[in-house]
């Protein structure tokens, strides 16, 4: 602690008038709705004709995404970029921390793995990482009219403030006006907002220009006295109260979202297909399965114990940041045996990335890339071997379905897009090859890399390295139709693809109606009436 406080990073300022405008969303805690609010503001500014980009200096998440040039960033920033209508770039999230175990995380800098570091070692990297942070922000401000910045956690973590690179240091460097967001659904929102302000330094308090009360339920008039007292006590206006919503669906950033026991069909009678995702301790890219939860008749649940396994129609083994330790956990919980028995009974299984590796016969980690254990038996469901190597594969891909049996019946020839993020190399014989890769955006496709994944002879067990598989509507619905056929049920008609763009518009409308947008625009200095077409 003393070493960190004795060597604070200097506060820098760069408010160059030639750079684009900035607006920052910070929160009183994690999971108060910062990511969603940034997505909404990105879409609002886009709707109003501005070139807008998201930015988060440092993200801690195993939910990641691959940019067109093969860089890895937080999935939340990719979602925000989609809301802004722009291509995701590594500058939007220059530092990504991917937890591997307690006190250890892989540090991804500018889209590439830098080192796996313990918490204490990480503080020694802050100067290098800060250089990437402020340089990336400057690059985005040169390319866009406005950059909407997301903070992390709380700016009032006084034990971390000396070397933080994601909250007030970013705001003060860029001269960003700060919207401080509190979650009223948790309770104590007024104490959280006032307490945060009390713990800030004078220069930091000056940066906070407005409050946002998020996730409110009920009659907003009941808040009037509290809002008035908050404004009188702090001298800071409340920009708005955003009501809790249930019918707007955009990907969640935090694994806190997995605490919701069942998603999708809201009543037992509505659940025609039961999809169980194994909730691994180091689960990654859990938003891979969001499209399943939006399908009518499909109940999506996350399972962390053998007692909760039940009798699912489809078991999904998701991605994992640390495959071998998570496979050990799977065995210890009795879930590995539950998955094996499910397969032996003719059940259907899909393994994505780390889950694909677990389906195999054996996993090797001779260099200690993901574990201290050099080898381990897999679930033995597919005749595959995985060897972990030091080079991470991160690619955007486009391909097609190359097998038309089992879960992919009716999907032969359908287009598949997605992305790969993995350290392991998986090989095997005597399996079907479900996907043919036609394009990797950053590297050539070779004969050795032209196919992805594996299927058993029944077609009911499928493994792949492709994240985003279920975001491909025709493939997703083909899998669900086959599951429905096996169960002899009829699924309702599904919505058309492209729904996510409409969801961003719904979110923007919801937030626009909740916030004082005149105040927001005044904070940014953007001219709402500027004729960009004629500029």
pLDDT in tens, 9-62: 777 777 655 789 999 999 999 989 999 999 999 999 999 999 999 999 999 988
Listed as own residue / partner, the contacts of 194-200 with beta carbons closer than 8 Å and 24 or more positions apart are 194/230, 194/233, 194/234, 195/28, 195/156, 196/28, 196/154, 196/155, 196/156, 197/234, 197/236, 199/156, 199/158, 200/155, 200/156, 200/168
- Dist CA 324 CA 315 (whole Å): 19
Can you tell me which residue has the tokens 């297909």? 273
- pLDDT tens digits along 190-218: 999 999 999 999 999 999 999 999 998 88
Confidence at residue 217, expressed as pLDDT on a 0 to 100 scale: 87
| Spatial CA neighbour of 360 closest among 406, 428, 423, 425 | 428
Q: In this model, does residue 436 exceed pLDDT 50?
A: yes
252 — pLDDT class (breaks 50, 70, 90): low
How does DSSP classify residue 491? P
Cβ–Cβ under 8 Å, residues 34 and 76:
no
Dihedral angle sign, alpha carbons of residues 194, 200, 201, 202: negative
Query: Which of 4-8, 80-84, 497-501 is predicted most confidently?
Result: 80-84
Give the DSSP H or E segment for 10: none
Cβ atoms within 10 Å of 203's Cβ, excluding its own? 12
Output 117 or 35, whichever has higher pLDDT. Answer: 35
Q: Tell me whether residue 360 is exposed, middle or buried, using C-beta atoms within 10 angstroms of its C-beta: 0 to 12, 13 to 18, 19 or more.
A: buried
7 — pLDDT class (breaks 50, 70, 90): low
Output 466 or 262, whichever has higher pLDDT. Answer: 466
Average pLDDT of the chain to the nearest whole number: 90
Give the DSSP H or E segment for 157: none
- Dist CA 352 CA 359 (whole Å): 10
467 catalytically annotated = yes
Q: In this model, does residue 136 exceed pLDDT 70?
A: yes
Q: In this model, does residue 356 exceed pLDDT 70?
A: yes
- Dist CA 452 CA 400 (whole Å): 10
- pLDDT tens digits along 282-321: 999 988 998 998 899 999 999 999 999 999 999 999 999 8
- pLDDT tens digits along 478-533: 999 999 999 999 998 776 665 678 899 999 999 999 999 999 999 999 988 765 54
Confidence at residue 21, expressed as pLDDT on a 0 to 100 scale: 97
353 catalytically annotated = yes
- Dist CA 414 CA 478 (whole Å): 10
- Read off the pTM: 0.85
- Dist CA 215 CA 30 (whole Å): 14
Mean pLDDT value of segment 77-87: 96
Nearby residues of 237 by Cβ (< 8 Å), 6 or more positions away: 209, 210, 211, 231, 516, 519
Catalytic residue among 181, 353, 395, 422: 353
Q: Can you tell me whether residue 407 is helix, strand or coil? A: helix
254 — pLDDT class (breaks 50, 70, 90): low
389 — pLDDT class (breaks 50, 70, 90): confident
Tokens of 127: 């100067």
Cβ atoms within 10 Å of 364's Cβ, excluding its own? 17
């Amino acid at each position: 602690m003393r070493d960190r406080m004795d060597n604070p990073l200097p506060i820098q300022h760069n408010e160059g008038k030639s750079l684009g405008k900035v607006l920052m969303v910070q929160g009183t805690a994690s999971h108060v709705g910062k990511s969603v609010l940034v997505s909404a503001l990105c879409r609002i500014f886009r709707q109003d004709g501005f070139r807008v980009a998201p930015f988060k200096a440092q993200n801690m998440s195993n939910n990641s995404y691959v940019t067109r040039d093969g860089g890895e960033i937080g999935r939340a920033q990719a979602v925000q970029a989609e809301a802004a209508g722009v291509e995701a770039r590594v500058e939007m999230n220059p530092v990504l921390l991917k937890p591997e175990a307690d006190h250890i995380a892989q540090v991804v800098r500018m889209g590439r793995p830098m080192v796996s570091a313990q918490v204490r070692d990480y503080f020694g990297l802050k100067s290098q990482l800060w250089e990437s942070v402020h340089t990336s922000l400057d690059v985005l401000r040169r390319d866009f009219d406005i950059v909407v910045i997301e903070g992390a956690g709380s700016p009032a973590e006084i034990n971390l403030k000396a070397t933080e690179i994601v909250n007030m240091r970013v705001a003060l460097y860029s001269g960003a006006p700060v919207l401080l967001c509190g979650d009223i659904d948790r309770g104590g929102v007024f104490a959280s907002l006032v307490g945060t302000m009390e713990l800030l330094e004078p220069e930091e308090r000056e940066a906070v220009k407005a409050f946002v009360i998020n996730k409110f339920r009920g009659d907003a008039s009941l808040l009037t006295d509290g809002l008035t007292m908050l404004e009188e006590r702090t001298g800071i206006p409340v920009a708005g109260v955003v009501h809790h919503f249930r019918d707007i669906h955009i990907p969640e950033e935090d694994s806190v979202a997995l605490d919701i026991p069942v998603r999708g069909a809201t009543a037992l009678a509505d659940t025609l297909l039961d999809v169980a995702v194994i909730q691994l301790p180091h689960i990654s890219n859990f938003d891979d399965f969001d499209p399943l939860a939006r399908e009518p008749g499909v109940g999506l649940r996350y399972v962390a114990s053998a007692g909760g396994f039940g009798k699912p129609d489809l078991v999904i083994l998701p991605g994992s940041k640390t495959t071998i330790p998570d496979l050990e956990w799977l065995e210890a919980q009795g879930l590995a045996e539950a998955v094996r028995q499910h397969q032996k009974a003719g059940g259907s299984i899909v393994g994505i990335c780390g889950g694909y590796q677990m389906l195999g016969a054996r996993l090797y980690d001779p260099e200690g890339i993901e574990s201290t254990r050099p080898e381990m038996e897999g679930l033995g469901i597919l005749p595959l071997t995985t060897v972990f190597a030091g080079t991470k594969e991160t690619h955007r891909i486009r391909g097609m379905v190359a097998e038309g049996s089992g879960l992919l019946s009716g999907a032969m020839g359908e287009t598949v897009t997605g992305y790969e993020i993995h350290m392991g190399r998986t090989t095997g014989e005597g399996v079907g090859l479900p996907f043919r890769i036609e394009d990797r955006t950053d590297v050539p496709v070779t004969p050795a890399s032209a196919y992805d994944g594996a299927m058993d002879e029944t077609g009911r067990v499928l493994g792949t390295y492709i994240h985003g598989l279920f975001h491909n509507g025709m493939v997703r619905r083909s899998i669900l139709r086959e599951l429905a056929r096996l169960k002899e049920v009829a699924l309702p008609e599904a919505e058309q693809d492209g729904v996510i763009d409409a969801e961003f518009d719904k979110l923007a409308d919801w937030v626009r109606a909740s916030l004082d947008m005149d105040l927001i625009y005044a904070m940014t200095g953007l001219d709402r009436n500027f004729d960009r077409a004629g500029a």
